[in-house]
Amino acid sequence: MEKELRLMKGNEAVAEAAIRAGTDGYFGYPITPQSEILEYLMEAKPYETTGMVVLQAESEVAAINMVYGGAACGKKVMTTSSSPGISLKQEGITYIAGAELPCLIVNVVRGGPGLGTIQPAQSDYFQATKGGGHGDYHLIVLAPASVQEMADFVELSFDLAFKYRNPVMMLSDGAIGQMMEKVWLSPQKERSKTVPGWATTGKPPTRERIIITSLDLDPNAQERFNQKLVAKYNEIREKEVRYEEFQLEDAEYILVAYGTSARVCQKSVQLARNEGIKVGLLRPITLFPFPSKRLNELAGKAKMMFSIEMSAGQMVEDVLLSVNGKVPVYHFGRMGGIVTAPEEVVEFLKSKIGG
């Protein structure tokens, strides 16, 4: 079957892609700027077609714990929210990571801290990539930069989540969630009928009982489990790094930006090149694992690097660690729900080059 072309909001694209990817369950709670996802699903009624469960929970806390329950049955389950709601979900997320369950969590980021604003931001980078909840764990974090990617990353997220038995976060923002673009949608996939061996389905006499838990009171066993997680994260770092390069061949100055900021920086690169400044862009697609190796290689050839993000400077710390002192690294970006303008980036660039 062929792909279908539609004009959609990023949020709607996530919802439609979820149905088409054969998702078994969606558990959500309204919060701006991502409520369209739940609204779209309720209107589409996939429970009448694919059998996908769609439920509006009583809170983000309940929604993520429904995801835990569904994931532990080996089902493809997901939830979506925006920054304050994602904070509430952190308890559930750390339990899901600790129980090694696959699921998809979409964060359509808005500015903070606290209630902050309902406008787009990239201020949840630390929370998404460094754990978020308590304990040593990582999510796999994908950063879409278009409505198309918001759709495509649903299936990719589930593939990665089940491959590594690890929760995956799609770190979008209010701009991509709300913007309308054309999107090619994959054909409808059937919901999976196979049940992973680790899932709770009711214990037949032929096998041992299955216990999904993140608890181990024996410190030695718990440490062995922690080491197992570390090995898993290292494997993910080794195999799953994704990024996109833009005009880096001859670049002396390298912008590093993801999501909405990466779109802005594409324009900044063009503007700067018009003025004869050799600028390129590296767009991390996976924020965990971060493309550290590639950035370190590039640092050998560049004069400066710039982390452009709509935050007070979060990803810049990973850029600094990646280049390990090889070149100066600067951060620039607007906050509070303001999308950085391409010209502002160029001005900042020139101020550093000139200085």
Partner 1 sequence: MAEVTGIKEIIKPENLVYKKTKLMTDKVLSYCPGCGHGTAHRILAEIIDEEGLQSETIGICPVGCSVLLYEFIDIDWQEAAHGRAPALATAIKRLLPEKFVFTYQGDGDLAAIGTAETIHACNRGENILIIFINNGIYGMTGGQMAPTTLPGMRSSTSPYGRDVKIMGNPLKMTDIVATLLGTYYVTRQSVHTPANVKKTKKAMRKAVQYQKLNKGTCFIEIVSNCPSNWKMTPVQSNKWMEENMFPYYPLGDLKIPAEQITQKTSNSEKND
Stretch that binds partner 1, among 31-39, 104-112, 212-220, 282-290 (CB under 8 A): 212-220
Residue 95 interacts with partner 1 (CB under 8 A)?
yes
Residue 210 interacts with partner 1 (CB under 8 A)?
yes
Stretch that binds partner 1, among 23-31, 106-114, 139-147, 335-343 (CB under 8 A): 23-31
Residue 209 interacts with partner 1 (CB under 8 A)?
yes
Between the CA of residue 109 and those of 23, 117, 123, 325, what are the distances in Å?
Answer: 23, 10, 7, 30
Among residues 114, 187, 205, 325, which is the contact residue for partner 1, using CB under 8 A? 205
In the numeric block, which tokens belong to residue 252? 């002396």
Which lies closer to partner 1 via its Cβ, residue 201 or residue 234? 201
Residue 4's DSSP bridge partners are: 185
Shortest Å, Cβ 121 to partner 1:
28
Please name the residue that has the structure tokens 């930006």. Answer: 257
Shortest Å, Cβ 97 to partner 1:
12
Which lies closer to partner 1 via its Cβ, residue 72 or residue 299? 72
CA distance 335 to 339: 8
Residue 105 interacts with partner 1 (CB under 8 A)?
no
Please name the residue that has the structure tokens 């370190």. Answer: 296
Which lies closer to partner 1 via its Cβ, residue 88 or residue 179? 88
For residue 113, whether the previous peptide bond is cis, meaning omega lies within 30 degrees of 0, is: yes
Residue 215 interacts with partner 1 (CB under 8 A)?
yes
Q: Which long-range contacts (CB under 8 A, 24 or more apart) does 323-329 make?
A: 323/295, 323/296, 323/299, 324/296, 324/299, 326/296, 326/299, 326/300, 327/299, 327/302, 327/303, 328/304, 328/352, 329/304, 329/305
Shortest Å, Cβ 214 to partner 1:
7
Give the count of residues interacting with partner 1 (CB under 8 A).
38
Shortest Å, Cβ 63 to partner 1:
8
CA distance 214 to 92: 11
**Footprint of partner 1 on residues 36-65 (CB under 8 A)?**
53, 55, 57-59, 61-63, 65
Residue 202 interacts with partner 1 (CB under 8 A)?
yes
In the numeric block, which tokens belong to residue 26? 């969606």
Q: Amino acid identity, residue 93?
A: I
Angle at 308 between CA 264 and CA 170, to 5 degrees: 80
Among residues 184, 196, 201, 228, which is the contact residue for partner 1, using CB under 8 A? 201
Among residues 17, 21, 38, 66, which is the contact residue for partner 1, using CB under 8 A? 66
**Footprint of partner 1 on residues 75-94 (CB under 8 A)?**
75, 77, 91-92
Strands 279-284 and 77-81 come out as unpaired
Residue 313 interacts with partner 1 (CB under 8 A)?
no
Residue 31 interacts with partner 1 (CB under 8 A)?
no
Which lies closer to partner 1 via its Cβ, residue 2 or residue 48? 48
Residue 218 interacts with partner 1 (CB under 8 A)?
no
Which lies closer to partner 1 via its Cβ, residue 62 or residue 310? 62
Q: What is the DSSP string of 4-57?
A: EEEEEEHHHHHHHHHHHTT--EEEE---TTSHHHHHHHHHH-GGGTT--EEEE-
Between the CA of residue 322 and those of 75, 129, 143, 159, 316, what are the distances in Å?
Answer: 36, 15, 18, 27, 10
In the numeric block, which tokens belong to residue 342? 């391409």
Which lies closer to partner 1 via its Cβ, residue 73 or residue 321? 73
Strands 243-246 and 103-109 come out as unpaired
Residue 222 interacts with partner 1 (CB under 8 A)?
no
Instruction: Give the interface with partner 1 as residue ranges (CB under 8 A).
Output: 24-25, 27, 53, 55, 57-59, 61-63, 65-70, 72-73, 75, 77, 91-92, 95, 99, 200-205, 209-215
